[in-house]
Amino acid sequence: MSTHAARRRTLSLSLAALATTALLLTGCSGTGDDPSPTATDPSTASSSPSATPSGSSTSTSPSPTDEPSESAGTSPGSGCPAAGDGVPQGASSAEVVDVDGDGRPDTAWLTAGADRTFGITTASGATFSAPITSASPIAASAVVGSVADSGGGDVPVALVDLGREAQLFALGDCTVTQTLDASGQPYVFDRGFGDQGTGVGCSNVDGATRLAGLLAVRQGDGWTVTRTLIDLSDGGRVAANGTATVVAEDATADDPVVTTAQEVSCGDLVAGAGGLTEPGA
């Protein structure tokens, strides 16, 4: 074989080898425009501590296990999970504000008799309640509203008027819980049978709706009204007396500030005045 022939054969073999190599490289690349993974891609990064400094992340989107879990009935907008038998037969009921945060009005109810009970049935189908423990022979009535809590935001509460006193219940977390004072005793409002108060109201103070104990006292020819703001905490489950302020002096008996101070109310709702009242009252 001549030297020129050998060189032509060597060149042909080299070109064939290059073509084969190109085909092999083409088969290892992706089918689209995306580049093949590299060592800096999060999906192929080393799990060794030296590959990722403490407190940093190689991925911009968390995996499903990184997302916070939410229990049923507590996530915003979900409402309480359906449970219970609904409004008891024979109970009186009334539509009230949204208690469980799903944006829909709920239903409050009262049963009569020795086992008087106040309860809530939500639009989502949950029913929860608590007994009304009181020796008062006067029929119960109630209002439900949202008031400020020291933890920030508003909390739903119920005021149950029993004539001699008004009991306070927190309505958060799909439960009805009687509010207590710092010593663990039920926090109640005097309705004129003591010297602490005559009524309960909801007052707008610095842009927030505050629960307040009210005391109307006749002095000479006029009336003096004192308002004591109530400091709520733990979602309305704990209450304490806050700042007391005289809000009216020498007022007439028919002045709204005086009449309101002798009622149990929240906003436009007044207990016993066309709202939720114990059956048979």
Q: For 63-114, what is each residue's pLDDT tens digit?
A: 333 333 333 334 456 899 999 999 999 999 999 999 999 999 999 999 998 8
Judging by DSSP bridges, how do beta strands 269-270 and 208-219 pair with one another?
Answer: unpaired
3-state SS of the chain: helix, strand, coil percent to 5? 15, 35, 50
Q: What is the spatial distance between Cα 107 and Cα 99, in angstroms, rounded to a whole number?
A: 9
What are the phi and psi torsion angles at 114 (to 5°)? -65, -25
Three-state DSSP class for 21? helix
Q: Which residues contact 150 (CB under 8 A, 6 or more apart)?
A: 231, 232, 233
End-to-end CA distance of the chain: 124
Q: What is the spatial distance between Cα 217 and Cα 190, in angstroms, rounded to a whole number?
A: 13
Q: What is the pTM of this model?
A: 0.72
Of 100, 150, 152, the residue nearest 121 (C-alpha): 100
Q: How many CA atoms lie within 13 A of 200 on its CB side?
A: 32
Q: Judge contact between 226 and 199, C-beta under 8 A.
A: no
* pLDDT at residue 250 greater than cutoff 50: yes
Q: For 122-131, what is each residue's pLDDT tens digit?
A: 999 999 999 9
Which band of pLDDT confidence, cut at 50, 70 and 90, is reported for residue 218? very high
Q: What is the spatial distance between Cα 46 and Cα 104, in angstroms, rounded to a whole number?
A: 50
